[in-house]
């Protein structure tokens, strides 16, 4: 029972990056919330962030045979990357897509996701609590 939580580009800046959009919570706060939720749900949590698409693809590949579920905030790559989609498809691990903001009330280019149709479900617009909801749902389904 291991849930891998992956964060894409620019999420290292959480808390200081456009706080009116993304809030004041930092990525360290997100990580702490994920570990707390993992403990409550009796699942192991692995947490990772990168600004490098290739590194993200390698981290996703390493989930094959290792992770029970993947919680992914692919950030801008959500809207651009067939490569990340293909990596997720390749590993055969259930995907839970998370966004801090409600992408549907933002720019039109954020309305399309290369991940949503290969996800169990999508959580967006609930701030960093979305990570908690995704972990809880994923843990219930293990």
Please state the residue numbers annotated as binding site for substrate: 73, 79, 86, 100-101, 110
Q: How far is it, in rounded angstroms, from Cα 62 to Cα 2?
A: 13
Q: Please, what is the minimum distance in Å from the beta carbon of residue 53 to ligand DQA?
A: 13
Q: Please, what is the minimum distance in Å from the beta carbon of residue 65 to ligand DQA?
A: 27
79 or 136: CB nearest ligand DQA:
79
- Is the distance from CB of 65 to CB of 95 less than 8 angstroms? no
Can residue 80 be called a binding residue for ligand DQA (CB under 6 A)? no
- Give me the active site residues, please: 22, 99
54 or 65: CB nearest ligand DQA:
54
- Quick one: 111 exposed, middle or buried, by C-beta within 10 A (0-12, 13-18, 19+)? exposed
* Binders in 112-141 for ligand DQA, by CB under 6 A: none
Can residue 75 be called a binding residue for ligand DQA (CB under 6 A)? yes
Can residue 50 be called a binding residue for ligand DQA (CB under 6 A)? no
Residues in touch with ligand DQA (CB under 6 A): 10, 73, 75-76, 78, 99-101, 103, 110
């Amino acid at each position: 029972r291991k849930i891998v939580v992956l964060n894409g580009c620019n999420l290292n800046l959480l808390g200081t990056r456009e706080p009116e959009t993304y809030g004041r919570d930092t990525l360290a706060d997100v990580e702490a919330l994920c570990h707390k939720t993992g403990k409550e749900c009796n699942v192991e949590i692995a947490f990772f962030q990168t600004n490098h698409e290739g590194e993200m693809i390698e981290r996703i590949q390493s989930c094959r045979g290792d992770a029970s579920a993947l919680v992914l905030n692919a950030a801008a790559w959500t809207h651009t990357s067939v490569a990340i989609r293909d990596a997720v498809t390749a590993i055969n691990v259930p995907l839970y897509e998370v966004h801090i903001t409600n992408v549907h009330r933002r720019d039109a280019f954020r309305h399309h996701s290369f991940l949503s149709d290969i996800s169990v479900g999508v959580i967006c617009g609930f701030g960093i609590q979305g990570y908690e909801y995704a972990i809880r749902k994923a843990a219930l389904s293990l």
